[in-house]
Structure 1
Amino acid sequence: MGEGTLGLIDWLQKAEPYYKKSVPRIKRWLAEVVGYFEQRTTKVIVEVINHSLKLLKRSGFGFRNFNNFETRALLF
């Protein structure tokens, strides 16, 4: 763990009496928050792919079989 992570954990312990709703939420997502600041990675790409597939699924009622849907999905 980095120095910033340890500082955040220390701050969360001190802030818990003041931010009763926020601190548990931050603790629950701590790995993701730390991952973003350490590696600058997010799940945006996965979310874009999921959104595109859902959109394709909604508009794909005219596909005659699954192979047509699969081919179209792989073109994204």
Structure 2
Amino acid sequence: MQRNIARLNTAYKNFFDGRGFPQIFYGKTAQTIREHLPGICNYFISGTTSGVMEGINNKIRLVMRLGYGLTNFNNLRSRLLGCCS
């Protein structure tokens, strides 16, 4: 497992870190990949995503939009707990 991660890091450095074609034309993309490479590797290792958490956050935003103007936090909390349970 660690050997595969090391190979991926080496391939990435050879491809993106030089001043060749990818760095010139895809500099922002290369920087983003460089910053998120551990998370990208973890996805391929474990195969899990954050889709469930994103769905919960989306539902919370929806309830907050529908409850616009609520001044009582306990009412908002009750709506969230009822919606997500």
TM-score range, shorter chain: 0.7 to 0.9
Match runs of 1:1-76 below 5 Å: 2-16=2-16, 17-20=20-23, 21=27, 22-61=29-68, 63=70, 65-75=72-82, 76=84
Identity, in percent, stands at: 28
Letter in 1 for 2:21: Y
* 8 A contact 1:63–1:69 mirrored in 2: yes
Unmatched 5+ residue regions in structure 1? none
Q: CA deviation at 1:50?
A: 0.8
Q: In the comparison of the two structures, how many residue pairs are matched?
A: 76
Q: Secondary structure at the match of 2:48?
A: coil
Gaps (5+ residues) in structure 2? none
Tell me how large the CA RMSD over aligned residues is. Answer: 1.7
Structure-1 separation of matches of 2:13 and 2:71: 57
Distance 1:24 1:5 in 2: 18
Q: Does the 8 Å contact 1:53/1:73 carry over to 2?
A: yes
TM-score by length of 1: 0.83
With the length of structure 2 as denominator, give the TM-score of the two structures: 0.75
Give, as a single letter, the amino acid of the residue that structure 2 aligns with 1:69: L
> Following TM superposition, by how much is the alpha carbon of 1:66 offset from its aligned partner in structure 2, in angstroms?
1.7
1:67 partner amino acid = N
